[in-house]
Structure 1
Amino acid sequence: MNCNRKQKGGFKVKKFILILVVLSTLIILAACGGETEEQAEDSVWSQIEESGEIVVGTAGTLYPASYYPEGSDELTGYNVEVFREIAERLGVDIKFETLGFDAMLSALQSGRVDIIQAGPREASRDKFAFSEPVKYSFATMIVRADDLSGIHTLEDLKGKRAGGAATTVYSDIARKYGAEVVTYGNVTNDAYLRDVHNGRTDVVINDYYLQSLAIQAFPEFNITLHPDLRFHPTTNNVVMQKDATVLLEKINEIIADMKEDGTLTKISEEFFGGLDVSKEPEEEVIEIEGIE
């Protein structure tokens, strides 16, 4: 009887020890799994922190957002100076890669650049992370000044030729209303505007603030902002890889601070003729169904 009791007791002890071992193993595996996931989420910021440098994709040809002033090799513009301020507050150096818009998302996805600026769309939201907005705006049109290129409503875009990049929301709007999109590479504003002036294209749909300043640089062209059409409210955000959660948190904190301390307003007023693009516009803007 005593032997049996000892055997039973020993079995219970061994069973208890086995359970403890299994539980301990599960806890260790869970902890390791958590660390692996966290490391994956931190990898983008970890690389930036380790190198001491953040790589930014930007156009370099789009006045006043990202451009080289005449006679200068120093990149500047609203987007550029916002990036510089973010890098400074992150405590890292900054390196710019000039890219066409259509190449920016692929460069971001491949890791060639760490961040860009763009507006969120449903397809890109699934692949990338977007910060809080650093710019609010809406779309309008540049048309010929003498006849508004025959465009009085959005429906009048049918059959017109619209200059633009292949994958922008502005080209999507042109196509939605039946325009033919004439695509360009990473060219400067004058190429788009000259083509409207000389009749190669009829219209350029783009950001209101960018276009209102761009046409001022070319008073000799027969072009104007459409006086009546304001549509498709947009935002511009800092974009990064989907798993860059630490970087996203840091940049959102910085953007909030820049709004609160007036830095975004100051940069905006410098590049947008005293206007503050960091705040939502008060104008009535037409929403376009089916366009993100």
Structure 2
Amino acid sequence: MHVRRLAPLALLTVLGLLAACGDAEPESGSGGGGGGGSSADPAGGTVCETTDAEGDLLAQICDKGVLTVSTDAAYPPQSRYVPKEDKWEGFDIDVATEIANRLGVDIAWETPSWDVITAGGWNGRWDLSVGSMTPTNDRQEVLHFTEPYYFTPSVVLVHEDNSTIQDLENDLDGKTIGVCAGCTYEQFLDKSLDIQGFEFDFVVDDATIKGYDTDTTALQDLALGDGTRLDAAMTSLTVAQGYVDEGNPVKIVGDPLFYEPLSVAIDKSADLDPASLVEATDQIVQEMHEDGTLTGFSENWFGGTDLTKQQQ
């Protein structure tokens, strides 16, 4: 495995995320997620009941009584919108909903494209991104990040008929590989991925990178046939395993190429000062680690696996 060490979580706290992607419907909405989470008020009341924030972004959210969160409507099991039931569900949905609960407000959703989220300059259209975002160094220039709320292995898939791609350090060289455009997988393949506290072994050379709007679209092209449009695809283990489990004709090969931390993001250029919201959200993430809430969400959505612990 190409496991990389992460610097202490505190280094990512209040720094100022590509694993998920998405440009999907609906544009906005409200409601909570499902799936085994806690929604109990922390001891001493919610953040909005106890904060002395005034005139800043946190105060505005508390006054409105609504936290607006950007996420992906087509990135199961992390997040998905189910039109027939008018319901949001997934790991990221539960995490975001619990953050809203502990702030003491309702939640609403926005689904902008991934490149818009990662670029910053949100103009107040949403308050947080809870979309499995990696705090790459370039994103830290425009976004604040909490400590990671979970960590995912990045894996390679091929069509089930493929027998030539097995050794990932050699067999992927020169191949056409599908990824979500602008995600960390693309940066890994073009050898530009840079995250404070991580070192990467860029073992794939001269790949033809084909970018998609989201990981699942790349996987759909891979499923068309071995080499029909793609030789392989990269995504998180969680998305990959879910796609395999649905009966699609693809398979995971080799060990993870790298592990990445995934964090909640907040726009540095928000019209109102975001500092107290960053601090409050980071504290909530820490508490959710400590009280087992994140572990429960992870085990519920990822087949009993706890991905909230840092890989060494």
TM-score exceeds 0.5: yes
Residues 173-192 of structure 1: matches in 2 within 5 Å?
A: 173-176=188-191, 177-186=205-214, 189=216, 191-192=217-218
Q: Return the alpha-carbon distance in structure 2 between the equivalents of residues 254 and 192 of structure 1.
A: 34
The letter for the 2-side match of 1:224 is: K
- The code of the aligned residue for 1:258 comes to M
Match of 1:98 in 2: 111
- Partner residue of 2:275? 245
1:42–1:245 contact (8 Å) kept in structure 2:
no
Of the candidates 97, 103, 117, which is equivalent to residue 84 of structure 1? 97
* CA deviations over 1:49-71 (Å, ceiling 9, x no partner): 22111111101100100113484
SS in 1 for 2:62: helix
Distance in 2 (alpha carbons) for counterparts of 1:94 and 1:269: 23
- Determine if the alignment matches structure 1 residue 271 to structure 2 residue 284: no
The partner residue of 1:143 within 158, 179, 182 is: 158
Code of the aligned partner of 1:133: P
Structure 2 CA distance for partners of 1:214 and 1:94, relative to 1, 3 Å? same
Identify the residue that residue 280 of structure 1 maps to in structure 2: 310
Distance of 1:126 and 1:41 partners within structure 2: 26
Task: Work out whether residues 71 and 79 of structure 2, in 8 Å CA contact, stay in contact via their aligned partners in 1.
Answer: yes
- Check whether the contact 1:64–1:214 (CA below 8 A) recurs between aligned residues: no
What displacement does 1:275 show? 0.7
Relative to structure 1, the CA distance from residue 107 to residue 43 in structure 2 (aligned partners, 3 Å threshold; closer, same or farther) is same
Question: Separation in 1 of the partners of 2:233 and 2:171?
Answer: 14
Contact 1:160 1:180 in 2 (8 A): yes
Deviation at 1:103, TM superposition (A): 2.4
Which structure ranks higher in relative contact order (CA pairs < 8 Å, sequence separation ≥ 6)? 2
* Cα deviation, residue 41, structure 1: 10
Question: One-letter code of the match for 1:251?
Answer: T
Quickly say closer, same or farther: Cα 1:169–1:220, change in 2 above 3 A: closer
Q: Which runs of 5+ in 2 are unaligned?
A: 1-52, 192-204
Residue from 46, 67, 75 that aligns with 2:80: 67
Q: Which residues in structure 2 correspond to 1:209-228 (within 5 Å)?
A: 209-217=238-246, 219-221=247-249, 223-226=250-253, 228=254
Q: In the aligned structure 2, how far is the partner of 1:100 from the partner of 1:64? A: 18
Following superposition of structure 1 onto structure 2, how do residues 151-162 of structure 1 map, counting pairs within 5 Å? 151-162=166-177
Q: Which amino acid aligns with 1:128?
A: L
Which portions of structure 1, spanning 4 or more consecutive aligned residues, are displaced by more than 4 angstroms? none
Query: Structure 2-normalised TM-score?
Result: 0.70
1:286 match? none
Amino acid at match of 2:309: K
Q: 1:85 to 1:148 in 2, by over 3 A?
A: farther
Which one-letter code corresponds to 2:265 in the other structure? Answer: V
SS in 1 for 2:304: coil
Quick one: structure 1 residues 279 and 148, their matched pair in 2 at CA, closer, same or farther if it must change by over 3 Å? Answer: farther
Q: Secondary structure at the match of 1:124?
A: helix
How many Å apart are 1:281 and its aligned residue? Answer: 3.5
Larger helix percent: 1
Structure 1 stretch displaced more, 140-149 or 242-251: 140-149
- When normalised by structure 1's length, the TM-score is 0.74
Amino acid at match of 2:292: G
**Partner secondary structure for residue 178 of structure 1:** coil
Q: Determine the C-alpha separation between the residues in 2 that align with 1:273 and 1:152.
A: 27
What secondary structure is seen at the aligned counterpart in 2 of 1:95? Answer: strand
Equivalence map 1:15-26=2 (5 Å):
none
SS state of the match for residue 150, structure 1? coil
- Shift of the alpha carbon at 1:194? 2.8
Query: Aligned-pair distance for 1:93?
Result: 1.1
Q: Distance in 1 between matches of 2:173 and 2:229?
A: 16
Deviations 1:154-183, CA, capped at 9 Å, x for gaps: 343332222222211101222343222222
Aligned residues with identical type, % of pairs:
29
Cα distance between partner residues in 2 of 1:70 and 1:154: 41
Work out whether residues 134 and 184 of structure 2, in 8 Å CA contact, stay in contact via their aligned partners in 1: no
Name the SS for the 1:229 alignment partner: strand
Q: How many residues align?
A: 238
d(CA) in 2 for partners of 1:258 and 1:75?
Answer: 21
Q: 1:159 to 1:41 in 2, by over 3 A?
A: farther
Q: Determine which of 148, 154, 165 is the counterpart of 2:180.
A: 165
Q: What is the aligned-residue RMSD (CA, Å)? A: 2.3
Residue 274 of structure 1, CA deviation:
0.7
Relative distance call for 1:70 and 1:224 in structure 2 (3 A) is farther
Once the two structures are overlaid, the 10-residue window that deviates more, 247-256 or 67-76, is: 67-76
Aligned-partner Cα distance in 2 for 1:241–1:194: 32
Aligned 8 A contact 1:108 1:114 in 2: no
Deviation at 1:184, TM superposition (A): 2.1
- 1:212 maps to amino acid: Q
